[in-house]
Amino acid sequence: MKTRSLKGRTVAVVSAALAVLVFFSTLISYLFYSNALDSYLRDGSSIEESRKQFFIIFTCAMILIAIILILIAGMLIEIYIVKPVTDMTKAIASISYDSEGMREDNEDPKRALKNLNITSGGEIEELYHALQKFQMDTSDYLINMREASWETEHDSMTMLANKVKFDKRKKEVYPFADTIYIAGLNVINLHVANEKISSDAGDGIISKVARELRRLSSDSIHTYRLEDDHFLIVICGYLEEESVSIITKWVDRVGRLNRNSDEFVIRLVWGGAFGEGTFDVDDVYKHADAELYCNTAVAKKNIN
């Protein structure tokens, strides 16, 4: 059932008020004018006195009726316009958005936008439903944006952060750390597993490394997959000795990446660099990459 618009309701209320006013005016005019006329004929009052009496009574009656109509109009406006708009305004003001999505800060769940019972009809109710749809569309848009951002900044195979995420943190996060340790990691002999066993075996090794890196990750330890067999660990807020100890123990725990029965060995090799105080992140990263290059060359020579 379609409800009447606010404009239609206003016209109806004003028309009804005018009809009531005309009705009471006619009724009061008839009653009090007749009473004044009877008083004039019965008591011998002058016409002027009778008119004055009628005018005072009629004016007071009209003022009373006008006050009643104003109160009724005010009550209707409060119920159908002011209260719904106020409730919607408070509900919208309590909505905020952050990295985790939409949040409503209302202590009373009944005051949340979706729980408001607005059935005033017309434009006000249409506005309420439009705001509900806007809230839903905005939440959906933010979810899609987060998903798109996550896909852009993470490796789809390993679920680790990628170079895009590292470059962003390199500019916006790491320069503000007290200390930083950047360690690059390579998987030695991964190509041998791909050639002698299968590419699935190589993917399994990559997945194992990624799984162990995710376990190592924390608020102060960030892990990345930059290329196929090249990974990165960034440790913030630790001394150099502590950082080296963390990575050394982690690499030892991961150990050999392929089966012990295989004629070849696949394992991790790493190299890192430390920055403290006033440091350049790119410079620390270059030193870590150079250290990794040297260690990789030595490890390949020893394995082969």
Token representation of residue 2: 């379609």
Other CB atoms within 10 A of residue 235 CB: 26
Q: What is the pTM of this model?
A: 0.62
Query: Residue 275: in which H helix or E strand, if any?
Result: strand 267-276
Here the tokens at position 64 are 């009373």
Bridge-partner residues for 17, per DSSP? Answer: none
**Tokens (6 digits) for 238:** 């630790």
- Among residues 111, 229, 232, 220, which one has the least CA distance to residue 163? 232
Long-range Cβ contact pairs of 15-19 (< 8 A, separation 24 or more):
17/69, 17/72, 17/73
- C-beta separation of 165 from 154 below 8 A: yes
- In this prediction, residue 118 carries a pLDDT of 74
Tell me, what DSSP letter sits at residue 113? Answer: G
Helices (H) and strands (E) in the chain, counts: 9, 6
Q: Hey, what are 71's tokens?
A: 């109160």
Domains and CATH numbers, the chain: 6-138 (no CATH), 163-303 (3.30.70.270)
Measure the CA–CA gap between 211 and 204, rounded to whole angstroms: 10
pLDDT score of 1: 42
Q: What is the pLDDT of residue 95?
A: 72
CA distance 213 to 222: 9
Closest CA to 88 of 63, 123, 44, 52: 123
Closest by CA position to 102, among listed 141, 149, 153, 148: 141
Per-position DSSP letters for 172-206, written without gaps between them: HTGGG-SEEEEEEEEEETHHHHHHHT-HHHHHHHH
Q: Output the tens digit of pLDDT for each of the chain's 304 residues.
A: 445 555 566 666 666 766 776 676 666 666 665 555 555 545 545 556 656 666 666 677 677 777 777 777 777 777 777 777 787 777 777 777 665 556 666 666 677 766 777 766 667 777 777 777 777 677 766 766 776 778 888 898 999 999 999 998 998 889 989 899 999 999 988 888 888 888 888 889 999 999 999 999 998 999 999 988 899 999 999 999 999 999 999 999 998 888 877 778 888 999 999 999 889 999 999 999 999 999 999 988 877 5
Question: Encoding tokens for residue 277?
Answer: 């105080």
